[in-house]
Structure 1
Amino acid sequence: MSGGRILIVDDELYIRRLLTATLVRAGYQVEEAGTAAQALAVAAQSRPELVLLDLGLPDRDGLELVQPLKRDGKTAVVVVSAREGTDDKVAALDLGADDYVTKPFDTEELLARVRAALRHKLGERGSAAVVVAGMLAIDLVNREVRRGEQEVHLTRKEYEVLATLAAAPDRVVTHQTILAAAWPHDYDHRVEYLRIVVRQLRQKIEPDPARPTVITNELGVGYRLRTGS
């Protein structure tokens, strides 16, 4: 997926240069901004398909930019930040960020996250009815799950959790987002409930439940459905 427009927002020049060189080699069109004000101005003019957003900007906290940058629903936002705290990750994702990468980062992994975020945006526009993750096929229209040729029988909670992850393939979905989808009428959204259901799900859909590769943990933050594409 090359040729897309990407805006890099980071106050450190060497990070912008590193990211620009990496993305240009991968075939993307790149613009840069060193402040929040510049980022909003450039984004309004060029309408990037994806923004790589640092949180430690000199004029505003980067978290304040997530929603303005995504206002038209056509721009993906991947946070690239040195902040490793769970609270910052959860806040960014709950505000609508498509992914969160911590510095220092591996450039190949970052490119994979960029491709996944752009794929998801295209999927939102075309609304894929079936999400494929390895041998698993999740039919979100007919509420059916198959592993190879065999149908997988899930409980209602198991399906709701899996469907919530499948609606955002390859992206981190926070614990609270999944809980709100699967337990909408429960005020006591305890993560322990979710962990039990994920454990049951893995027994049914993972090639090796002890080493999960389909539903993976983002420690302290949430889960990710890996499509492998």
Structure 2
Amino acid sequence: MEKKILLVDDQADIRDIMKLYLNNSGFEVLEAADGQEALDILDQEQISLMVLDIMMPRVDGFQLIRKLGKDRSFPIIFLSARTKVEDKILGLNLGGDDYMEKPFDPSELVARVMAVLRRWPQGQTENCQIKNGNLTLDRENRYIYKDGERLDLTVKEYLLLKKFIEKPGKVFTKQEIYEDIWEEPYIYADNTIMVHISKLREKIEVDPKNPKIIKTIRGIGYTMERY
């Protein structure tokens, strides 16, 4: 399966150049013109790496990496015209895995993408694998498997399922889930969590309409059965 690279940059000509070189190197490429478009894509797609500009409308690069949080399942390379040392330090401290300046050499970008992918993730994670029933959470590589087959999950789906697998039997309130996964105040009830839970059930349940793994606790939230 081709590795997917998400290019997040508000300049279409720069995305076109990056896409050409990355496609020629065997990568599948997705594009977003700002951080909000990137978040929308990540709700539908699982990617291997993100190339991220900083100065963009709506949601900029620094805001986006903060929204993604520490449990994102892919590395990030900043590609920006902001060349001050403090910008580089901030980007790396926020969790960036590399930082390139514009203007840039597309061949060097491809080389850096390959290098970051080779070393991701860095280090070992304590309790790398957690199992519950036929589901296995691989914390080191940030994947989840069902019956040994890797699930194709979006970022939010991965974070949700990870949360459940790590604490089977625990009942999570909707507020708790929303504020942890979406990192925003849970002000009013909407269908966001329900939609994501429904999509997860389609991927892990034998009968999604009669779920046995992720159960709804009426008026409270959700829990994963312990097996």
TM value normalised by structure 1: 0.51
Partner in structure 2 of residue 117 of structure 1: 116
| Superposed counterparts of 1:51-90, under 5 Å | 51-69=50-68, 71-90=70-89
> Is 2:49 the partner of 1:50?
yes
Verify the 8 A CA contact 1:43 1:69 in the aligned structure 2: no
Q: Within 5 A, what are the aligned runs for 1:1-229?
A: 3-69=2-68, 71-122=70-121, 124=123
Greater Cα offset, 9-18 or 55-64: 55-64
Q: Which runs of 5+ in 1 are unaligned?
A: 128-229
Distance 1:24 1:42, change over 3 A: same
C-alpha displacement of 1:49: 1.0
Aligned partner of residue 87 in structure 2, secondary structure? helix
Distance 1:66 1:49 in 2: 15
Q: Separation in 2 of the partners of 1:5 and 1:55?
A: 20
Matched position secondary structure for 2:100: strand
CA contact (8 A) 1:78 1:97 kept: yes
Secondary structure of 2:83 counterpart:
coil
Relative to structure 1, the CA distance from residue 5 to residue 40 in structure 2 (aligned partners, 3 Å threshold; closer, same or farther) is: same
Relative to 1, partners in 2 of residues 1:101 and 1:113: Cα closer, same or farther, differing over 3 Å? same
Q: How far did residue 116 of structure 1 move?
A: 1.2
Percent of aligned pairs with the same residue?
Answer: 37
Secondary structure class of the residue paired with 1:59: coil
The alignment of Structure 1 onto Structure 2 pairs a total of residues equal to: 126
Output one character per residue of 1:127-178: Cα deviation in whole Å (capped at 9) or x when no partner: 9xxxxxxxxxxxxxxxxxxxxxxxxxxxxxxxxxxxxxxxxxxxxxxxxxxx
Secondary structure, aligned partner of 1:8: strand
Q: Which residue of 2 aligns with 1:194?
A: none
Runs of 4+ in 1 over 2 A off after TM superposition: 67-73, 122-127
Distance 1:9 1:103, change over 3 A: same
Gaps of 5+ in 2: 127-227
Residue 144 (structure 2) aligns with = none
Q: Which amino acid aligns with 2:2?
A: G
Distance 1:83 1:75 in 2: 23
Partner amino acid, structure 2, of 1:22: Y
Residues 60-106 of structure 1 show CA distances to partners (whole Å, capped at 9, x for unaligned) of 22111123335434210000001101111000000000000000111
